[in-house]
Amino acid sequence: MADRYWVGGTGSWTTISTTNWSLFSGGASGASVPTATDSVFFDQAGTYTVTATGALACLDFTVSLGVVTFSEISSTITISGSLLLASGTVSSWTANLGIIFNATTSKTITTNNVAIGATTFNGVGGSWTLGSAFSVNNGAIDLTNGTFSTSASNFSVTCALFRSSNSNTRTINLNASTFTITGSQWNFFTSTNLTVSGSGATVTMTSSSTKTFSGGSANWGAITLNQGGAGRLTITGSNTFANISNSYNATGATSLRFTSGTTQTVSNFTAAGTSGKILTIDSSTPATAATLSQASGTVSVDYMSLQDSTATGGATWYAGANSTNVSGNTGWVFTAPPSGSSNFFLLM
């Protein structure tokens, strides 16, 4: 285990070049290329570009000074340690420069508002905790093995896709964070050996194209699943949620589609439309319903178009006076709730 310091300003980080590596901060170049047991430091003043080339590796990755641009040529960096990009030290990180975190112990990821490339967490027994908000530059986060936690500070996570569909042992601790999914999927289709923890988190799916929340029939009771865009949101699996909501009703019409034959068990259901911005709910196979279940209380929504939806579980489900009963619905009351009912949908 050793340290490697980047020197000489702009240059290429390759699997063979020693031109920009030193054994000491600001020292002479010529040190060997870092390996998975060597921590790398970018701690020199100045503005420069590091072009990553090939399959690279290091232990800890720290940028503490200067203003660095990270570009790449067919490169991935495997980081066995922690990642720390000090505030203001990385001007850009190309979207194609992906990172694989493969630690088998606890590590920290602090990116300070730098959106990095597609990121994979794959270390048996590994644990990665955020030290700041975390964004992937229009790409995927893959949780293959280990634990991903947003920390007790509830740091926000932004990516196009979040995927963890496998049978490996893994944990996602959402704490009370906001996960913004800008692309097509939250994919936990196979949720075997998955642990979900946290409380008060929101997963909001903002794409204007169709997108899917594949919950794998897991207990997502820690989260509110929010429809945050115009694209239809399909929910697969029989999942449990704290809430299903629709923030896009401030902007336009949108839709939720549930896989026929599945049941979504919720503590609250506030997904509603507004005047002129209808929320459509239907099922994947016409004439075969999907079920929404809430144990108690009153669900009160409005401006809905409902088809093939069964509402049950003990709660009273009011679709509202301005909703449309298309066909195949059971358990919905197509009126406003009587005065005094709880959980009124509040327009602000």
Partner 1 sequence: MSRLASGGVWLQRKGLKMTITVLDNGWISDSFTIGESPPYNDAIVMSPDQYNALTADQIEAMKQERYDRWVAMITEASAEIIDGG
Residues at the site binding partner 1, with contacts judged by CB under 8 A: 64, 84, 86-88, 110, 112-113, 115, 131-133, 135, 138-140, 150, 153-156, 158, 160-161, 163, 165, 177-178, 180, 182-185, 187, 202, 204, 206-209, 226, 228-230, 247-248, 250-252
Q: What are the Cα distances from residue 82, in Å, to 63, 162, 237?
A: 11, 21, 35
Residue 200 identity (one-letter amino acid): G
CB 250, min distance to partner 1, A: 4
Residues 6 or more apart whose CB falls under 8 angstroms from that of 245 comprise 224, 225, 226, 227, 270, 271
CB 214, min distance to partner 1, A: 8
CB closer to partner 1, 178 vs 264 = 178
CB closer to partner 1, 99 vs 315 = 99
CB closer to partner 1, 12 vs 150 = 150
CB 26, min distance to partner 1, A: 17
CB 288, min distance to partner 1, A: 25
DSSP letter for each residue of 249-285: GGT--EEEEE-TT-EEEEEEE----BTTBPEEEEESS
CB closer to partner 1, 10 vs 87 = 87
Residues in the chain: 348
Residue pointed to by tokens 């040529």: 73
CB closer to partner 1, 189 vs 334 = 189
Element (H, E) at 3: strand 2-6
Residue 296 identity (one-letter amino acid): S
CB closer to partner 1, 245 vs 294 = 245
CB 87, min distance to partner 1, A: 4
Structure tokens at 132: 């700041």
CB closer to partner 1, 135 vs 149 = 135
Convert 158-192 to b/e letters by CB count within 10 Å (16 or more is b).
Answer: bbbbbbbbbeeebbbbbbebbbbbbbebbbbbebe
Question: Are 332 and 312 a contacting pair, CB within 8 Å?
Answer: no
Structure tokens at 238: 């029989």
CB closer to partner 1, 75 vs 180 = 180
Residue 240 identity (one-letter amino acid): T
CB 6, min distance to partner 1, A: 18
CB 133, min distance to partner 1, A: 4
162 φ/ψ sector (left φ>0, alpha ψ -120 to 50, else beta): beta
d(C-alpha 303, C-alpha 3), whole Å: 61
Count of CB atoms situated within 10 Å of the CB of 348: 3
CB 195, min distance to partner 1, A: 20
d(C-alpha 83, C-alpha 69), whole Å: 16
CB 254, min distance to partner 1, A: 9
CB closer to partner 1, 149 vs 309 = 149
The CA-to-CA distance between both ends of the chain, in Å, stands at 58
Count of CB atoms situated within 10 Å of the CB of 94: 17
